[in-house]
Amino acid sequence: CTLDSEVALRVGGDFFFDPQPGDSPVNLVLIAGGVGINPLFSILLHIADLHGYQEGKGNGHKLGTVKLYYSAKNTSELLFKVN
């Protein structure tokens, strides 16, 4: 984001990311803490799948950028760790 960018925030509840072919691309910033990573990791995997289909078949999906920020209070709360 840059100064004066418009952003939308969603905390908790049911949410999903399901872009349709022909939709305008959107940029996503996914922010998760602890076990809150589960639904966001699924969204990230879905986007990776769409990207793979786009590269291989030109399926009409236009994808923006995606950034995932993941943290926790301490390392024991991290579900996914990079060694």
Spacing of C-alpha 3 from chain mean position: 22
Residue 52 located in a structural domain? yes
Q: d(Cα 36, Cα 39) in Å, to the nearest integer?
A: 7
Residue 69 located in a structural domain? yes
- Domain with 60 in it: 28-77
Mean pLDDT, the chain, integer: 80
| pLDDT tens-digit readout, 59-68 | 667 778 899 8
Q: How many domains does the chain have?
A: 1
- Distance, first Cα to last Cα, the chain: 30
| pLDDT tens-digit readout, 4-13 | 988 877 777 7
Residue 10 located in a structural domain? no
pLDDT for 54: 60
Q: How confident is the model at residue 82 (pLDDT cuts 50, 70, 90)?
A: low
| pLDDT tens-digit readout, 19-30 | 888 888 888 888
List of residues 6+ apart from 25 with CB closer than 8 A? 62, 63, 64
Asked whether residue 70 carries a pLDDT value surpassing 80, the answer given is yes
